[in-house]
């Protein structure tokens, strides 16, 4: 029996071509939508068994935000990412957002179909080669003479590093202030300084940038084992 599918891609022609190929193989394609910006609402409303979501830039901040919305509102929908070979953090970000698989955009239709079937069955669908490459790079990272995460981290004070960690954990201004023992206005000022130094316009962008560059990993080890360092109230 065919799978109830939805294909989403910023490139409408690619989405429609893939949808047509899958229809010929007996699958029920509910829609071939573009762009991905409005994908979440459409997928939530149509509730397919599997959603194939194309992305041209898996390493970009916010690339997988639609998946977060889909998994929150329609947890029964299995989302497969279709895109270029990302760095290990790109694959990790896709799974962290709730994707159940990652398929190369140059994969043969047979490979795409196998991934769809695995996704519907609740299994992870990632080509062994992608996983091997990801693990190899994570275990033996290439030396980066101008590491972006380290460069950004050097721009922040210890206090601002703690604020960034708390922002990434989803704390609002009130919680940040309470956790650090400072006034809400002071916490708000620290947050604005972090955003300004990182060159981003929102807390979500700051968290995404920190995760993408490895800044968050480095920030986590910049605090004491028992928790972030605290200064006197009002700091």
pLDDT of residue 154: 84
Least-confidence region, from 3-7, 25-29, 56-60, 194-198: 56-60
pLDDT at 128: 66
In the chain, % of residues over pLDDT 70:
82
Task: Report the C-alpha gap between 192 and 137 in whole angstroms.
Answer: 34
Q: In the structure, what pLDDT confidence band is assigned to residue 226 with cuts at 50, 70 and 90?
A: very low
Mean pLDDT of the chain: 82
3-state DSSP of 84-146: CCCCHHHHHHHHHHCCCEEEECCCCHHHHHHHHHHHHCCCCEECHHHHHHHHHHHHCCCCCCC
Domains of the chain: 4-139 (3.40.50.2300), 148-220 (1.10.10.10)
Asked whether residue 187 carries a pLDDT value surpassing 90, the answer given is yes
pLDDT over 90 at 184, yes or no: yes
């Amino acid at each position: 029996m065919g799978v109830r599918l939805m294909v989403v891609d910023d490139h409408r022609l690619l989405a429609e071509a893939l949808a047509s190929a899958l229809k010929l193989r007996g699958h029920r394609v509910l829609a071939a939508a573009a762009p991905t910006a409005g994908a979440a609402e459409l997928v939530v409303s149509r509730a397919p068994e599997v959603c194939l979501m194309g992305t041209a830039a898996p390493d970009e901040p916010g690339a997988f935000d639609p998946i977060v919305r889909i998994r929150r509102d329609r947890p029964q929908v299995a989302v497969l990412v279709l895109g270029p070979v990302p760095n290990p953090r790109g694959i990790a970000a896709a799974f962290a957002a709730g994707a159940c698989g990652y398929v190369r955009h140059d994969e043969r239709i047979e490979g795409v179909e196998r991934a769809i079937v695995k996704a519907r069955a609740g299994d992870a669908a990632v080509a062994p080669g992608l996983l091997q490459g990801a693990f190899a790079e994570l275990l033996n990272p290439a030396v980066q003479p101008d590491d972006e995460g380290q460069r950004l981290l050097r721009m922040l004070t210890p206090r601002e590093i703690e604020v960034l960690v708390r922002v990434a954990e989803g704390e609002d201004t009130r919680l940040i202030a309470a956790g650090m023992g400072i006034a809400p206005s002071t916490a708000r000022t620290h947050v604005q300084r972090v955003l300004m130094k990182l060159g981003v316009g929102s807390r979500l962008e700051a968290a995404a940038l920190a995760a993408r560059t490895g800044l968050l990993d480095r920030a986590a080890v910049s605090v004491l084992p028992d928790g972030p360092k605290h200064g006197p109230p009002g700091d």
